Amino acid sequence: MSDDVEAVLGFVAHQGFHFFLQTGGLGLIILGSVLQLKFAGVLDILGDERLATPVMLLAFGSLCTLLGFLGCCGAIRENYCLTVSFAVLLALVIMLETAAVITAYALHEDLRSGLSTQLQMGLSRYNRSSGVQMAWDQTQQTLSCCGVANSSDWSALGAIPDSCCIESSSGCARELAPLHPGGCMEKVENWILINAALVGELTP
């Protein structure tokens, strides 16, 4: 009788792990999709750096969902190939996560410098591209920030955009309305780190 109970408990624990993988994967896919839509402006400014945010969430979410499905099917059908595929992919995910953490730690300053350069380049094109202008306005309003380091970054362009105002409205910057006190560099960096941490928490 005890052997039967142990077998049932083992099966439940095994399936519970696969269910966690699938649920976590679907959660990452949903979160990545929401961020992709809500923070489109931030992603447009970041350019290639977007791979560190919603796209990474979508990729890991899809992989975790596939992992959970393979593991669940392999356990129920006692299929050797599916079980081996599950084990190989799980090991791959763990190795990729470990490599990503080590790389991010080792290249932290380079990544920060690249992020600053990307933001500065976007800011310099604010008056030359309606797409960049829209992206910066959305970023400043969404993240409640102004400029790269602070509002003084806009002085070279001659005027602070209205999206820097705490309560944004047409002409508010010219009327000396209160501005967001912090720059977008720190806010965007924290945003990327939060998304990376979510991937780590919702995957094995």
Inside any domain, residue 85: no
Q: Token pair for residue 157?
A: 């362009």
Inside any domain, residue 157: yes
* H or E, element range at 121: helix 108-124
73 and 155, same domain (yes or no): no
In this model, does residue 28 exceed pLDDT 60?
yes
74 and 116, same domain (yes or no): no
Distance (Å, rounded) from C-alpha 85 to C-alpha 90? 8
Count other C-beta atoms under 10 Å from residue 149's C-beta: 16
Question: What pLDDT score does 161 carry?
Answer: 92
* Domain limit, last residue, from 40, 62, 78: 78
Q: What is the CATH number of the domain that holds 164?
A: 1.10.1450.10
Count other C-beta atoms under 10 Å from residue 117's C-beta: 11
67 and 23, same domain (yes or no): yes
13 and 51, same domain (yes or no): yes
- Asked if residue 121 lies in contact with residue 97, where contact means CB atoms within 8 angstroms, the answer is no
Inside any domain, residue 117: yes
149 and 193, same domain (yes or no): yes
In this model, does residue 175 exceed pLDDT 70?
yes
Q: How many residues does the chain have?
A: 204
Please give the model's pTM, rounded to 2 decimal places: 0.56
5 and 58, same domain (yes or no): yes
Inside any domain, residue 100: no
39 and 123, same domain (yes or no): no
Any bridge partners for residue 97, and if so which?
none
**Model pLDDT for residues 123-168, shown as the tens digit of each residue:** 888 888 787 888 888 888 888 999 998 988 898 888 899 999 998 8
Inside any domain, residue 56: yes
Distance (Å, rounded) from C-alpha 14 to C-alpha 21? 11
Long-range Cβ contacts of 98-103 (<8 Å, 24+ apart)? 100/196, 101/200
Q: Token pair for residue 38?
A: 């809500």
Predicted confidence band at 1 (pLDDT cuts at 50, 70, 90)? very low
Q: Evaluate the CA torsion angle 134, 29, 144, 42 in order and state its sign.
A: negative
The whole domain housing 74 covers 1-78
* Domain limit, last residue, from 56, 78, 100: 78
118 and 163, same domain (yes or no): yes
Inside any domain, residue 185: yes
57 and 138, same domain (yes or no): no
5 and 54, same domain (yes or no): yes
127 and 179, same domain (yes or no): yes
- In the chain, how many domains are there? 2
Predicted confidence band at 62 (pLDDT cuts at 50, 70, 90)? confident
- Asked if residue 54 lies in contact with residue 33, where contact means CB atoms within 8 angstroms, the answer is yes
